């Protein structure tokens, strides 16, 4: 036997000895991760399951309702409040998202591709606002809203989030990858700067825009502290603020509370399930670059 043969045979030996436990190991690993994953979605599963149960079955720990009903949904939606809150949240999250997409990308683009006096100062100033927590600003924002009559209005809920330093920084990072030659070429073709940004640069950073849109929309859909402070009347509540008050009011009617919680959660879950791959990629991009 030559040395190579020995090595080859020991390798086959090795493999036959190792493969089986390895496969076993992979199966155990898969099973454990699967069990963990199922436990992770249990709270969501129980929320949905309980929202489909009759009151007398709520304290039963079975996950599948014995006689599923949509009675809770008709009851909760009947008085119209969840409907308003839902519409309010949609409007606020949508407008804020559009505003962030436009302004964050415009500012990010300008800071990335233009050379002008004051550029560095503007960049550092915007970046430094990342260090200021929202909680520090809510009191001044409240006073400002009070004196300007913005309390209890869509504008009042939205104005603090219309632009974000996070989004600006994210977009700036992505515009770095747009070649200056493209912009120069467009300039020579006679496009003005606004057109260049809109027709040349923006289409090249679509993935970043999508990632930003997901973050901003989700953030505004679930935002609680500021909407809680700035709204007074029930019709102006967003879904989280409404749900919080509804939970107190429904007291021990847990099937109704779970229904409200499900109404506020299902839309984002559905969107996630449809665009899963895309959203996860976006979250990674925003998380790592932002």
Partner 1 sequence: MRLYSNLSIKQKQIVWAWAFLALPVLFYGIIRFYPTGTAFVISFQEWNLLGDRTWIGWVNYVELLNDPVFWKVFVNTFEYLLIGTPLSLVVSFVIAYHLDKLRFMHGFLRMLYFLPFMTSAVAMAWVWRWFYQDVPIGLFNNLLASVGIPQIAFLNSTTNALPAVLAPAVWAGLGFQVIIFMAGLRAIPQSYYEAAKIDGVGWWTVLTQITIPLLRPTIVFIVVFSSIGFLRIFDHVFNMTTNNPGGPLNSTKPLVLMIYDTAFNGFNMGYAAAQTVVLFLILLLVSLAQLWLLRSD
Contacts of partner 1 in 109-148 (CB under 8 A): 109-110, 114-119, 122, 125-126, 129-133, 135-144
Using CB under 8 A as the binding criterion, the count of chain residues that bind partner 1 stands at 91
Among candidate residues 240, 237, 236, 208, the one with its CA nearest the CA of residue 221: 240
Quote the CA–CA distance of 181 and 259 in Å, as a whole number.
Answer: 54
Any idea which residue has 């609680």 for tokens? Answer: 224
Mark the segment that binds partner 1 (CB under 8 A) among 1-9, 73-81, 104-112, 174-182: 104-112
Residue from 85, 159, 175, 237 in contact with partner 1 (CB under 8 A) = 159
Largest CA distance in the chain: 93
Terminal alpha carbon distance of the chain: 60
Mark the segment that binds partner 1 (CB under 8 A) among 6-14, 79-87, 202-210, 277-285: 277-285
User: What part of residues 213-272 is at the interface with partner 1 (CB under 8 A)?
Assistant: 218, 221-222, 224-225, 229, 239-240, 243-244, 247-248, 252, 254, 257-258, 260-262, 264-265, 268-269, 271-272
Question: In this complex, which beta carbon is closest to partner 1, that of residue 75 or of residue 224?
Answer: 224
Residue from 101, 151, 163, 209 in contact with partner 1 (CB under 8 A) = 163
Quote the CA–CA distance of 47 and 74 in Å, as a whole number.
Answer: 17
Quote the CA–CA distance of 266 and 55 in Å, as a whole number.
Answer: 21
Residue from 11, 17, 18, 32 in contact with partner 1 (CB under 8 A) = 32
Shortest distance, position 69 Cβ to partner 1, whole Å:
18
Name, in order, each residue with C-beta under 8 angstroms of 159's C-beta and a sequence gap of 6 or more: 141, 150
Question: In this complex, which beta carbon is closest to partner 1, that of residue 113 or of residue 204?
Answer: 113
Torsion of CA 244, 248, 253, 254, to 10 degrees: 40
Shortest distance, position 154 Cβ to partner 1, whole Å:
16
- Residue 123: count other Cβ atoms within 10 Å of its Cβ: 18
């Amino acid at each position: 036997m030559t040395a190579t043969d020995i090595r080859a045979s020991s390798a086959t030996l090795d493999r036959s000895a190792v493969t089986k436990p390895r496969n076993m190991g992979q199966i155990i690993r898969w099973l454990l991760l699967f069990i963990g994953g199922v436990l992770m979605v249990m709270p969501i599963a129980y929320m949905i399951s309980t929202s489909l149960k009759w009151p007398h079955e709520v304290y039963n720990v079975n996950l599948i309702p014995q006689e599923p009903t949509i009675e809770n949904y008709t009851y909760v939606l009947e008085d119209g409040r969840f409907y308003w809150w839902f519409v309010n949240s949609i409007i606020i999250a949508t407008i804020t998202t559009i505003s962030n997409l436009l302004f964050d990308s415009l500012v990010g683009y300008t800071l990335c591709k233009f050379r002008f006096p004051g550029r560095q100062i503007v960049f550092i100033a915007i970046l430094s606002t990342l260090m200021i927590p929202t909680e520090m600003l809510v009191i001044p924002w409240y006073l400002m809203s009070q004196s300007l009559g913005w309390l209890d209005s869509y504008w009042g809920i939205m104005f603090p989030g219309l632009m974000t330093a996070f989004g600006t920084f994210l977009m700036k990072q992505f515009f770095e990858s747009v070649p200056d030659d493209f912009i120069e070429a467009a300039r020579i073709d006679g496009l003005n700067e606004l057109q260049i940004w809109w027709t040349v640069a923006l289409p090249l950073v679509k993935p970043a825009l999508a990632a930003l849109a997901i973050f901003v929309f989700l953030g505004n859909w679930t935002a609680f502290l500021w909407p809680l402070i700035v709204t007074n009347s029930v019709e102006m509540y967003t879904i989280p603020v409404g749900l919080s008050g509804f939970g107190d009011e429904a007291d021990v009617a847990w099937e109704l509370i779970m229904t409200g919680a499900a109404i506020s959660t299902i839309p984002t879950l559905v969107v996630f399930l449809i665009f899963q791959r895309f959203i996860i990629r976006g979250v990674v991009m925003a998380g790592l670059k932002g």
